[in-house]
């Protein structure tokens, strides 16, 4: 909750300093509210509580089903149609994550239905939030829209935190404050601003597939800076996930030829 509030306040401050307009259209506010409740509210709530019940490996696999959920929603609500190559790439990316997280799933405790439900709730919330953010792209300033959705999503999180958590247990140490600032500003505020900007340039399904690379980057950083071991299984999963991203995003000849034909017709 603190992370969302700090990130949202930072983005709004930037937008106000740059004199960016606040939305006036009711439909834009509707998409902002949906993004906040889905992406920030359900997304954060589900993932944080899932850690109490399921292993990190299983949580990673279920959460990375989000691009598949979002692709289905994008087909229904955004009229985005992935080619068969794109769908194969999405499933390849998911398979790569499954291979990477497989050992952690087997070593961890058995998943409880409650934990599974929390992760699935988070994945669905993020997928719905992505649809809303895509709808906002080009219609609302990114700093203002993402700042508002973070603050809106923080409201139910704050309410639940007051009911279920002891606020006196927070240790406001320099390490905690530094971690909070790092997570909130570059890790959340900047990330959301860039995400809305990105969705204004390319289709949601093609942008979302890069989510499969998040565990890959995490493993690479762990190996480079913390001496974590990369097993052959992890390397294989990384290669498969990367291939899935490449397959989904690369342009095929069918994507290019119609444009070239149109250009020739125009010259004629």
Tell me, what's the pLDDT at 83? 85
DSSP 229: -
Rounded to whole angstroms, how far apart are CA atoms 19 and 1?
27
**Could you tell me the pLDDT band of residue 117, with boundaries at 50, 70 and 90?**
confident
Tell me the longest C-alpha to C-alpha distance in the chain: 74
Q: Give the C-alpha distances (Å, rounded to integers) separating 15 from 5, 6, 127, 141.
A: 15, 14, 25, 8
Average model confidence (pLDDT) across the chain: 85
**Could you tell me the pLDDT band of residue 114, with boundaries at 50, 70 and 90?**
confident
Rounded to whole angstroms, how far apart are CA atoms 211 and 4?
20
Residues in the chain, overall count? 268
DSSP 245: H
- Residue 182 or 247, more confident: 182
- Burial environment of residue 84 by CB neighbours within 10 A (0 to 12, 13 to 18, 19 or more): exposed
DSSP 36: I
Task: Specify the pTM.
Answer: 0.82
Tokens at 78, concatenated: 């955004």
Tell me, what's the pLDDT at 233? 84
8 phi, psi to nearest 5 deg: -65, -40
Output the CA angle 134-69-252, nearest 5 degrees.
70
pLDDT digits 0-9 by tens, 134-177: 999 989 999 999 999 999 999 999 998 888 877 778 888 999 99
Mean pLDDT of 82-99: 88
Mean pLDDT of 182-206: 94
Mean pLDDT of 60-74: 84
- Is the CB of residue 44 less than 8 Å from the CB of residue 116? no
Nearest to 123 by CA among 176, 41, 196, 62: 62
Question: Is the per-residue pLDDT at 263 higher than 50?
Answer: no
Query: Phi/psi class of residue 227: alpha, beta or left (left: φ > 0; alpha: ψ in -120 to 50)?
Result: left
CA 155 and chain centroid, separation: 20
Mean pLDDT of 182-207: 94
- Looking up tokens 């639940």 gives 160
Question: Is the per-residue pLDDT at 59 higher than 80?
Answer: no
Nearest to 7 by CA among 192, 136, 156: 192
Rounded to whole angstroms, how far apart are CA atoms 88 and 245?
10
């Amino acid at each position: 909750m603190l992370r969302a509030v700090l990130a949202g306040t930072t983005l709004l401050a930037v937008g106000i300093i740059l004199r960016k307009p606040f939305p006036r259209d009711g439909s834009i506010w509707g998409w902002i509210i949906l993004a906040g409740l889905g992406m920030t509210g359900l997304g954060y709530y589900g993932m944080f509580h899932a850690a109490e019940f399921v292993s990190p490996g299983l949580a990673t696999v279920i959460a990375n089903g989000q691009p598949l959920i979002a692709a289905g929603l994008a087909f229904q609500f955004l009229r985005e149609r992935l080619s068969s190559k794109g769908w194969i790439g999405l499933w390849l990316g998911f398979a790569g994550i499954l291979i990477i997280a497989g050992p952690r799933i087997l070593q961890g405790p058995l998943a409880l239905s409650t934990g599974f439900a929390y992760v699935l709730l988070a994945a669905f919330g993020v997928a719905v939030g992505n649809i809303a953010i895509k709808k906002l792209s080009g219609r609302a300033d990114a700093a203002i829209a993402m700042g508002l959705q973070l603050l809106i999503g923080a409201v139910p999180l704050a309410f639940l935190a007051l009911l279920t958590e002891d606020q006196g247990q927070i240790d406001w140490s320099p390490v905690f404050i530094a971690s909070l600032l790092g997570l909130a500003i570059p890790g959340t505020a900047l990330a959301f601003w860039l995400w809305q900007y990105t969705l204004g340039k390319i289709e949601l399904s093609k942008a979302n597939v890069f989510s499969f690379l998040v565990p890959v980057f995490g493993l690479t950083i762990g190996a480079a800076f913390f001496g974590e071991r990369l097993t052959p299984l992890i390397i294989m999963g990384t290669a498969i996930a990367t291939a899935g991203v490449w397959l989904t995003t690369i342009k095929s000849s069918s994507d290019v030829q119609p444009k070239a034909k149109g250009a020739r017709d125009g010259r004629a």
